[in-house]
Structure 1
Amino acid sequence: PDALWPLGGYPGNDDEGREMQRKRDRDSMLEDFIAAYHYLKNHPDCDGNVGVVGFCFGGWISNMMAVKIPDLGAAVPFYGGQPSAEEAAQIKAPLLVHYAELDERVNAGWEEYEKALKANNVEYTMHMYPGVNHGFHNNTTPRYDEAAAQLAWDRTIAFFKEKLK
């Protein structure tokens, strides 16, 4: 889903997109994605297996969908903000978490998130990609790292094939 649709849709570049995103409440955007999940899950062409992948803010969305949707099939947050320990205790979906080694801001929350995941027996795998920055998967920015992006995507597809049978 396009979280910016209520404002006219994604403008085509990240800078303008970030400005537009600031005009929306993040919890309202999360609810839009949860509604999209329910639409897909109940669609006649869906076998009931739905997963989510998100990048940057979408990584937070992926984490929070895992919190809010008990029957989510799988979640793959790329360098996304983490839920609180109380929220993480609600996660039932398996997680594949991708982080960029040089992303100090997002990575600062990993230790507490991992503690909460372990304490609640949440199935997860985390990959830390060495020498890359937040947004390493975005090929429209100088932060793009082709090798790390390809490896992360290959892992993501394999994870979904395994978890969304």
Structure 2
Amino acid sequence: MNPDRLQQAIELYDRFTHEGMDRRDFFARMTLIAGSAAAASSLIATIAASPAAAAIVPAGDKRLVTREGELIAGNPLKGYVALRKGAVRPPVVVVVHENRGLNDHIRDVARRLALDGFMAVAPDMLTPSGGTPANEDAARDAIGKLDLGQSVALATDLVERLKKDKKTNGKAGIVGFCWGGAFVNRVAVAAGSGLDAGVSYYGPAPDPSEASKVQAPLLIHHAGLDQRVAQTLFPWVAALRAAGKAVTYQAYDGANHAFNNDTSAERYNKEAADLAWGRTIRFFNRHLR
């Protein structure tokens, strides 16, 4: 497909999945771009995340210990935990999912962090509404109905409890993608000095007036082609800098929103993903050890 038309399709899909665009209108417009209904369906499949995509770190990797269910006593969130076998008091990184909820891709991301020496804790933020449904459209609907204030409070409490857990080194960071990237900024605002580091991947940002409340150092990854997120992200970064906060902004030219998600054939950008991941691990090693 012509690169310009492909980019139009990617941006249209982003509007559909993030701005509540009507499904019929979305498909009609995608059909105009693709040339036929059949071609539109095929194109959508290459842009959307595929639940059948292979994991980078397999679920049964023998170097790791993983479990699913309760994350820590006293906090109601359930989810997925991964760490290296034999790890002694590792730092914690909370992994916040996209707007599709806790899925196998995010579990894979947690395992990657575990191999890099962290206790990776991936909460299902849809726990209060019964957990992440199998259907991703239903998951997006459920995410949109969450009480965001309550969700942030639950995540902040989770961070505090994990830091006090004697199985960790007492330091905790948070990383999130898309909806989770936005969530990282909100937890940084709410947690203050209770958070040790935060990494946000292409997440819309809070009101700039909240920047003064942030205490943790932040690393912000921005997809260069992601104009939707840029509208709130640029003022947020400027406000953090004006307030004297420790913020590192990294832009990835030519990369689309969700460039880290290797289950999306057309949006995944391996070069950008690898570069951002290396920066993320170095950032967490610097602030959590």
Question: Could you say what the CA RMSD is over the residues aligned between the two structures, in angstroms?
Answer: 1.5
Q: CA deviation at 1:14?
A: 4.1
TM-score by length of 1: 0.92
Structure 2 gap segments, 5+ residues each: 1-122
Q: Render the CA deviation track for 1:75-132: whole Å, top value 9, x for unaligned.
A: 0010112122221111111111000011101111233112211211101111111111
Flag the 1:73–1:30 CA change in 2: closer, same or farther, 3 A. same
Q: How many residues align?
A: 165
Question: 2:272 maps to which residue?
Answer: 148
Structure label with greater radius of gyration = 2
TM-score by length of 2: 0.54
Question: 1:69 maps to which residue?
Answer: 191
Q: Are residues 1:163 and 2:287 paired?
A: yes
Q: CA deviation at 1:13?
A: 5.9
Q: Are residues 1:112 and 2:235 paired?
A: yes
Partner of 1:108: helix, strand, or coil?
A: helix
From 125, 129, 140, the equivalent of 1:18 is 140
Does the 8 Å contact 2:152/2:190 carry over to 1? no
How far, CA to CA, are the matches of 1:35 and 1:107 in structure 2?
29
Q: Render the CA deviation track for 1:117-162: whole Å, top value 9, x for unaligned.
A: 1211101111111111111111222311122111111110010001
Identity %: 41
How far, CA to CA, are the matches of 1:79 and 1:151 in structure 2?
14
- Alignment map for 1:67-106 (pairs within 5 Å): 67-71=189-193, 72-106=195-229
Partner of 1:99: helix, strand, or coil?
A: strand
How far, CA to CA, are the matches of 2:212 and 2:167 in structure 1?
32
Q: CA deviation at 1:27?
A: 1.9
